Amino acid sequence: MFNWSSPRKPLLASIAAVALLSLTACGGSDDSDATGKADADGVITVKLGVVGPKTGPASLYYQYMDQTFETFSDDFEEKYGVRFEVIAEDDKASPEETARAVSTLINDEGVHAILGPPLSGNALQVAETIQRSKVPWLLAGPNADEIINYDQQPNWAFQTNFTNQQIMEVLGQRLFANDAKVGIVFSADGFGQSNVDHLKSWAKENGHEVTVEESIQPGAADANAIIQRMKSSGVESVFMGITQGADTATVTRAIAQAGFDPATIMTTGTILTNYKDLAEPEQWANIQIVDPRNFLEGGDKEVLDAVQEATGDAPAIPTNNISTYAMLDIYAQAVKEVGDANEKEAVRKAMEDIETVHIGETLTIDSPFAADDHRLYTDDLSTWFTYGFDKDFNLVLKGTAQECADKGC
Amino acid sequence: MSLVVDTIESGYDRAPILTGVSLRVDPGEMVAVVGSNGAGKSTLVRTISGLLAVRSGAITVDDVAITKLAPERRARRGVVMVPEGRKLFPQLTVGENIAMGRRAGRGRTSGEDPVDALLDTFTILRERWGQQASLLSGGEQQMVALVRAVAARPRYLLLDEPSLGLSPLKTLEVFQLIELVRERTGAGILLVEQMADQALAASDRAYVLEHGKVAMEGDAATLRASDEIRRAYLGVA
Amino acid sequence: MEPVIIGLVLGGLYALLAQSFVLTFITTRTLNFALGEFVALGAFATLAVASWGWLPDVGKVVVGVLVAGVVGAFVHRFLILPFTTQGEHDVRWLLSSVAVSFVLLDLITNVEGPSPQRSDTARVSGTVDLFGTGVSKQQLLLATLAVVISLLLILVTKRTPMGLVMRAVSQDPETASLMGVSPRRVGMGAYAAAMGLAGLAGVLYAATVGASPVMGEPLLVASIAVAIVGGLGSLWGPLLGGALYGVLSQFASYQWGTIWGETAGLLLVIAVLVWKPEGLLGRRTEVKL
Ligand SMILES: Nc1ncnc2c1ncn2[C@@H]1O[C@H](COP(=O)(O)OP(=O)(O)O)[C@@H](O)[C@H]1O
Ligand SMILES: [Mg+2]
């Protein structure tokens, strides 16, 4: 079952909550005991810089980090003796603000590690700076491969979401099966651009060609022209590399309106956020997603259920709630092993050499990293899952990506 | 019962233009304000009608202070102005312009409609009724502006240079119309003019404005006869 | 044929919002750059009463229109009007209306959250076939309303005393005040009507894309473009502008890809600005003594 949900808050209560928040926000204390070293009780408090869109339309991309801390902080302290003191900076989802936020965290706050920013384009913006500053960089959100330049060693960035190159490796076979004509619609942002780049390079390496590439602006009023171009070009497989579920809804609405019926429509886990409420069952009936996480059972699901239970809200970005959990597990283990978060190079090395990553109670991933591979997941098709949706938008497991590529799903 | 301006000061952004001007207009009376270009005549009527704020002093209409009222509220109390350059609504028809005038007089519609009498005399306006105002000649525009003001049922009518830009013949016609307006409406009329001779001839009393101050005042006929006025304003050496 | 039909229908949504710009422009010579947030405000106001079973859908739409309209009137009175007092060249209202946009966006986001919320009020799902083209019924409804409302507005301004006052204020607010008309009131009324329209567009648009604080923002550029093409001074302008902009941008999208759609629309704006800056149906303001 996939039914995490948020209750609709009464208006007045929300206003009161906002007012209260803004009051308490001013009263932060400065006497930090985030020394990065073990205190009398043996607990290490880490000063963790968090960058994300706290305010504004993209604030879900901050909320998932917040939810994960709220839900699991105590667990990590109990398990590893590591406590996170979060210093959050608002990047307002803009590249300029991200650069400012990161510089504040590194230079003024002297944080032990940085989590975020969650959006690929903004992460690209500060990649050089963070690598140069030699601070462990916890990339639990962005999917773009370009953020990490492995030519620079030692490398400080770690990615616990899958990357676009990986998903294209997994999807390529599926989309181009039987030499189908493939069209991609991608959002006009860093995530979308990275998607189209990797789809094209996969196609090139494997002797295929992408027939139609169309970008969609966030919040676009319609996608009729995009779909008509796909339809009239005879596209049989569609990939939607779209950041916001709302825009995905605009695209699937146009597909229905045009009576376009491609054999395959694939997308990513971004459809799990904000899509369902804006679409109709017949519009998602033929959509499938691939993801390396098992949303329906095991550790991944445990994380999501725990978030729902602890916060009372649906996981803001389910895929990223899980990748944040994995990231904090990795970093906390590394700090525990080194014993001092100030020893950043040692912590970095410990992360690189991590033996077992835990996700929830029951899922483990062994030795995911190497010097030239800071990615948690692999592009092995047999480790990825293919999902469809039932009429209530519950996820339905169709098989592993390998099975679906071999036999169709 | 009169329109009373009591030592007002007013002007634009910087230094005041009018400094301590006082005057009075009684119902049914025609009062001229003469003065050279830039003396502050327009400033005076704009202040009375509310387009310019009074900085000090007071304006009362029939013993009620209107000093702080917005222009539209003064108009609804019967203080009606025909601005310099007529200021018709250029893309409205003659009829629509006059209909706009009626809005200010909506609360005070007792008695016969003075507009009809004027239109009966100056029949040209009836012919032009559906025409766009900007297409009329200057004289016709001035007539429409006057009739529009009458439609507002004025108790006090402020006329800023009604003869501006008109030929002598047209000027004559406009002055006839003004006389008719006074007859039909019984309003007190404050007539601002550079054509001092004609204005004084038509008026009961007069004020001479110089550099934002009242330099002389009195009976119109007396002023018209005075040497000083003849030399300064009537072009007589 | 396809791009023409879709373009005309899509142009309707832009025309409705462009009409808001025209309404405030002809009466107050100001534009409300917070229009996008009023679109969202209308949508959320309707959403807030969506669960009132006793209120028919029309009533819920009216709530959205009224809330946006009333807030619009207040915005004019307290945040636009005070910044227009220094004559024709006083453009401080430009900044204050942009500030309103930020503040409203923050307020709505704080109260409602950033995610789009489903809105079922006044939702008509499905598509109809128009000359062989599948058109969403919701968009068709919006386009039809844009035409009907524009015609009504034109009728009202041409035929009613209220319309006469509006035209007079539009031509010369100072002289209108000498006729006992308060240009400030007329401006407030125009803002109420214009923002009510934006709210209406918001309610109907939210039924498709969901209500979200930023839902109106992507519509802003296109609606300003439509208003400029048609002429900010003409109530017919949005219809012509919307049709031209919609068809041209759809045509370019179909032909060369979506990025060319918006570009073509904006090129149209530039062409109009060069060739007829007052807009295709706008009137050059002439001064005649
Ligand atoms: N809008 C204005 N701003 C600043 N000064 C003005 C303005 N209008 C008129 N003035 C000045 O006020 C003075 C009086 O002008 P005005 O009342 O128009 O004179 P009149 O009507 O007697 O010719 C003049 O010196 C003129 O320059
Ligand atoms: Mg003058």
Alpha-carbon distance of A329 to A288, in angstroms, equals: 30
Query: Residues A289-298: pLDDT tens digits?
Result: 999 999 999 9
Task: Report the percent of chain A where pLDDT is more than 70.
Answer: 92
pLDDT at C284: 63
CA of B22 from ligand 1 middle (Å) equals 18
Task: Report the percent of chain B where pLDDT is more than 90.
Answer: 64
pTM of the model as a whole: 0.85
User: Does C258 sit within 8 Å of A216, measured CB to CB?
Assistant: yes
Give me the residue spans of the domains in chain C. 2-216
Alpha-carbon distance of A290 to A281, in angstroms, equals: 19
C109 contacts C172 by C-beta, under 8 angstroms: no
- Region label for A219, one of left (φ > 0), alpha (ψ between -120 and 50) or beta (otherwise): left
Residue B97 near ligand 1, beta carbon < 6 Å: no
Question: What SS3 class is residue A332?
Answer: helix
Q: Is position B4 within any domain?
A: no
pLDDT at B234: 67
Fold (CATH) for A164-291+381-407: Rossmann fold (3.40.50)
User: Does A60 sit within 8 Å of C115, measured CB to CB?
Assistant: yes
Q: Per-residue pLDDT for A254 more than 90? A: yes
Q: Per-residue pLDDT for C174 more than 60? A: yes
ipTM: 0.91
Q: Which helix (H) or strand (E) holds C152?
A: helix C137-159
Whether a cis peptide bond, with omega within 30° of 0, leads into C114 is: no
C-chain residues near B80 (CB < 8 A): 178
DSSP labels, B177-196:
HHHHHHHHH--EEEEEES-H
Q: Per-residue pLDDT for C288 more than 70? A: no
The residues in A 99-138 lying below 8 A from C, measured between CB atoms, are: none
Compute chain C's Rg from CA coordinates: 19
Atom of ligand 1 nearest to the CA of B11: 12
Mean pLDDT taken over chain A: 90
Query: Residues A186-216: pLDDT tens digits?
Result: 999 888 998 999 999 999 999 999 999 999 9
C208 contacts C117 by C-beta, under 8 angstroms: no
Which letter does DSSP use for residue A232 in this model? H
Q: Do chains B and A touch (3 or more CB pairs under 8 A)?
A: no
Dihedral angle at the C-alpha atoms of A257, A262, A264, A269, nearest 10 degrees?
-20
Query: Residues C111-135: pLDDT tens digits?
Result: 998 889 999 999 998 889 999 888 9
Q: Which residue in C110, C138, C251 has the most chain A C-beta atoms within 10 A of its own C-beta, making it the best mutation to test that interface? A: C110
Q: Point out the residue among C6, C48, C114 whose CB comes nearest to the CB of A57.
A: C114
Q: Per-residue pLDDT for A275 more than 50? A: yes
C262 touches chain A (CB under 8 A): yes
User: Does C286 sit within 8 Å of B100, measured CB to CB?
Assistant: no
Query: Residues A51-71: pLDDT tens digits?
Result: 999 987 788 899 999 999 999
Q: Per-residue pLDDT for A114 more than 90? A: yes
Q: Point out the residue among A57, A253, A273 whose CB comes nearest to the CB of C213.
A: A57
| Confidence grade of residue B233 (pLDDT, cut at 50, 70, 90) | confident
Question: What SS3 class is residue B64?
Answer: strand
Atom of ligand 1 nearest to the CA of B44: 17
Of B196 and C39, more confident: C39
B19 contacts B9 by C-beta, under 8 angstroms: yes
> Beta partners for C41?
none
| Confidence grade of residue A103 (pLDDT, cut at 50, 70, 90) | very high
Domain that holds residue B37: 25-50+70-233
Q: How far is C286 from chain B (nearest CA, A)?
A: 9
> Which residue type occupies A276?
K
Alpha-carbon distance of C21 to C15, in angstroms, equals: 10
Q: Is position B138 within any domain?
A: yes
Alpha-carbon distance of A335 to A42, in angstroms, equals: 12
Alpha-carbon distance of A328 to A88, in angstroms, equals: 16
Residue B39 near ligand 1, beta carbon < 6 Å: yes
> Which residue type occupies A45?
T
A4 contacts A304 by C-beta, under 8 angstroms: yes
Q: Per-residue pLDDT for A150 more than 70? A: yes
Question: What SS3 class is residue A303?
Answer: helix
Q: Is position B56 within any domain?
A: no
Length of chain C: 289
Q: Is position B63 within any domain?
A: no
User: What are the angstrom distances between the C-alpha of C40 and each of A39, A232, C147?
Assistant: 51, 35, 22
Query: Residues C237-274: pLDDT tens digits?
Result: 999 999 999 999 999 999 888 889 889 999 999 999 99
Alpha-carbon distance of A64 to B235, in angstroms, equals: 88
CA angle C130, C133, C138 (to 5 degrees): 70
The CATH architecture that domain A15-162+296-366 belongs to is 3-Layer(aba) Sandwich (3.40)
CB contacts < 8 A (A, C): 98
> Which residue type occupies A99?
A
Residue B78: name the closest of B152, B14, B140, B139 by CA: B152
Q: Per-residue pLDDT for A120 more than 70? A: yes
Nearest CA in chain C to B97: C168
Mean pLDDT taken over chain C: 93
Q: How far is C95 from chain A (nearest CA, A)?
A: 20
Query: Residues B182-196: pLDDT tens digits?
Result: 988 999 999 999 888
Query: Residues A3-42: pLDDT tens digits?
Result: 566 555 444 444 444 444 444 444 334 456 778 888 888 8
User: CA torsion sign, A158 to A164 to A169 to A171?
Assistant: positive
Question: Which residues have CB under 8 Å from A219's CB, separation 6+?
Answer: A246, A247, C209, C214, C215, C217, C218
pLDDT at A4: 63
Nearest CA in chain A to C215: A219
pLDDT at A28: 39
Chain position carrying tokens 């992507």:
C218
pLDDT at A22: 46
Domain count, chain B: 1
pLDDT at C132: 86
Alpha-carbon distance of A305 to A361, in angstroms, equals: 12
Q: Is position B1 within any domain?
A: no
C206 contacts C230 by C-beta, under 8 angstroms: no
Mean pLDDT, residues B43-52 taken together: 95
Which letter does DSSP use for residue A208 in this model? -
- How far does CA C124 lie from the centroid of its chain? 21
Q: What is the CATH number of the domain that holds B222?
A: 3.40.50.300
Of A2 and A88, more confident: A88
Q: Per-residue pLDDT for C67 more than 70? A: yes
